[in-house]
Amino acid sequence: MNHRKTKTAGGKIGRREFLKTIAITGGVAIGGSLLASCGSGSSLILDLTKPENQPLATVGGTLALDANSMDPQGILLYRSGPASVLAFSRKCTHLGCTIGAFQNGVSICPCHGSQYDTKGGVVRSPSQSPLRQYTAKLSGSTVTVSV
């Protein structure tokens, strides 16, 4: 048996090729999360001058962040006013599915159809409880989201 080869669905590749693949894959995942924000686990900082965060630069704009270091199901953000941003967990309060981005002021859960408004409130059951809200502070062109 050759210990320098790793078996894959497509056949065998060398150890060096395998490690290179892992490094590239890891880089993509990390880079993707850094596109929208940078975080420390208990807070996230979004730079509104970055293109991917531009929707929050305008009142009424929304942004849906994927899973990140602060929330494994991601975070919904809504620019509620000239100096205010609201942030909510994307975890549905019915049975925990990941809710969609805000569209026309509503986020829909794909599992059983609960709907939430941009204040995190339930507008359609079966969910009975509002979304978990995070603290969000807007300072200049920076939004800081924290627990």
Binding site for ligand FES (CB under 6 A): 92, 94-97, 109, 111-114, 126-127
End-to-end CA distance of the chain: 52
Give min distance, CB of 125 to ligand FES, in A. Answer: 8
Q: What's the closest the beta carbon of residue 119 comes to ligand FES, in angstroms? A: 18
Minimum distance from residue 102 beta carbon to ligand FES (Å): 15
One-letter amino acid at 138 equals: L
Tell me if 137 sits within 8 A of 144, measured CB to CB: yes
Q: Which helix (H) or strand (E) holds 119?
A: none
DSSP 41: S
Do residues 41 and 70 make contact, with C-beta atoms less than 8 angstroms apart?
A: yes
